[in-house]
Amino acid sequence: MDCPRDWPEPIVRVQSLTALPAIPDRYIKPPQDRPATDTPELTNINIPLINLSGLYAGDSALRATTLAQISEACREWGFFQVVDHGVSPGLMDQARDVWREFFHLPMEIKQGYANSPKTYEGYGSRLGVQKGAILDWSDYYFLHYLPGTLKDHKKWPEMPPSLRSVVEEYMDQLVKLSGRLMKAFSINLGLEEEYLQNAFGGEDIGACMRINFYPKCPQPDLTLGLSSHSDPGGLTLLLPDEHVAGLQVRRNNGWITVKPAPHAFIVNIGDQIQVLSNAIYKSVEHRVIVNSGKERTSLAFFYNPKSDLLIQPAKELVTPEVPALYSAMTFDEYRLFIRTRGPQGKSQVDSLKSPR
């Protein structure tokens, strides 16, 4: 199976619809998926917040406490925020600012980067290629960073002029932060420190980013900025919009609206770590709601396995009591699902469950 060369319908930029009095029918979700009418919103709770400075400090008691906090957040939540993570706050602000500027450039310039479903690289306005699908209220930009053979600065916006160098530095720092989290996850799972990194292909991991732009929406109660999904890759580092809430995380039968801490990253477990950990860690469904007053920009950085390696439950975590829960698949094969069908909750990882 492969992705088609072209979108099934002409692409409409959501940015160009923001001044309409009503949203077009193709953005109207069925009643059960609309933000206001489905399960109740859980107020006054937030995902855990962890200070990572203890991971780097020489103090071994503090390091153990930090690892324990990460362990609990991975087991109980699958989603948490981190501060004091080592990435420069100024660089985080610059990264968000250059992308916000990009989305405000004239449409002719952005159209020069229009993407196709073949690689998804560039300026896009839908996930999935099913004709007649109900679409999400967002535009995005998708780019590759690792492996180096896939990175092509010419496919990154040339404007604003600092974008390429800022993105290069930002992604370099996020690769390093992800590597540290992979070590922490491995240790917490009782595996050798380099286990997950090696299972991902060592130096040959994949890293890419989707910058999501959620324009103002005249009827936010009828649609979603991004439909419920779990992230297909390894782990995600999300830089949310500090001023505009929108990300919701599934918790039991409700949704928690994440309240971002200043200069925090939101970390979440992707499907590949769910598979490798044999479901000790689970990817968690999340979605984005939009609003009529403010646009929102977020940067989702994805740390993924080398695309042609088979990913399967770690044999150290498979026991007679807990057999391997998932069958093996390469990430190349795995990610075709979301690329063809679009975001569909957790149906994909569930479909990997070994029959028994």
Choice between 234 and 313, CB closer to ligand OGA = 234
Residue 129 near which of ligand OGA, Ni ion, none (CB within 5-8 Å, type-dependent): none
Residue 231 makes contact with Ni ion by CB under 5 A: yes
Q: Which residue among 121, 139, 231, 285 contacts ligand OGA (CB under 6 A)?
A: 231
Residue 133, burial from CB neighbour count under 10 angstroms (0-12, 13-18, 19+): middle
Residue 271 makes contact with Ni ion by CB under 5 A: no
Q: Which residue among 135, 226, 275, 280 contacts ligand OGA (CB under 6 A)?
A: 226
Smallest distance, Ni ion to C-beta of residue 78, A: 12
Choice between 181 and 314, CB closer to ligand OGA = 181
How far apart CA 124 and CA 126 sit, in angstroms, is: 6
Count of residues binding Ni ion (CB under 5 A)?
Answer: 1
Smallest distance, ligand OGA to C-beta of residue 59, A: 34
Residue 15 makes contact with ligand OGA by CB under 6 A: no
- Stretch of residues binding ligand OGA (CB under 6 A), selected from 83-91, 174-182, 193-201, 238-246: 238-246
Choice between 212 and 274, CB closer to ligand OGA = 212
State which of positions 66-105 bind Ni ion (CB under 5 A).
none
Q: Are 282 and 78 in contact (CB under 8 A)?
A: yes
Smallest distance, ligand OGA to C-beta of residue 75, A: 21
- Stretch of residues binding ligand OGA (CB under 6 A), selected from 11-19, 145-153, 240-248, 347-355: 240-248
φ and ψ of 123, to 5 deg: -85, 120
Residue 210 makes contact with ligand OGA by CB under 6 A: yes
How far apart CA 15 and CA 247 sit, in angstroms, is: 19
Residue 121 makes contact with Ni ion by CB under 5 A: no
Rounded alpha-carbon distances, angstroms, from residue 259 to 41, 120, 152, 162, 335: 13, 30, 34, 29, 29
The HSE-up count of residue 322 (CA atoms within 13 Å, CB side) is: 10
Q: Please, what sign has the CA dihedral across residues 30, 36, 40, 42? A: positive
Choice between 54 and 246, CB closer to ligand OGA = 246
Q: Are 98 and 158 in contact (CB under 8 A)?
A: no
Residue 212 makes contact with ligand OGA by CB under 6 A: yes
Task: Quickly tell me which residue has 């989305």 as its tokens.
Answer: 103
φ and ψ of 101, to 5 deg: -60, -45
Structure tokens at 144: 């590759």
Choice between 231 and 324, CB closer to Ni ion = 231
Closest chain position to Ni ion (CB): 231
Q: Are 305 and 227 in contact (CB under 8 A)?
A: no
- Stretch of residues binding ligand OGA (CB under 6 A), selected from 50-58, 82-90, 239-247, 348-356: 239-247
Residue 306 near which of Ni ion, ligand OGA, none (CB within 5-8 Å, type-dependent): none
Choice between 13 and 210, CB closer to ligand OGA = 210
Q: Which residue among 286, 306, 335, 339 contacts ligand OGA (CB under 6 A)?
A: 286
Residue 300 makes contact with ligand OGA by CB under 6 A: yes
| Residues at the interface with Ni ion (CB under 5 A) | 231
| Residues at the interface with ligand OGA (CB under 6 A) | 210, 212, 226, 231, 238, 240, 246-247, 286, 288, 298, 300
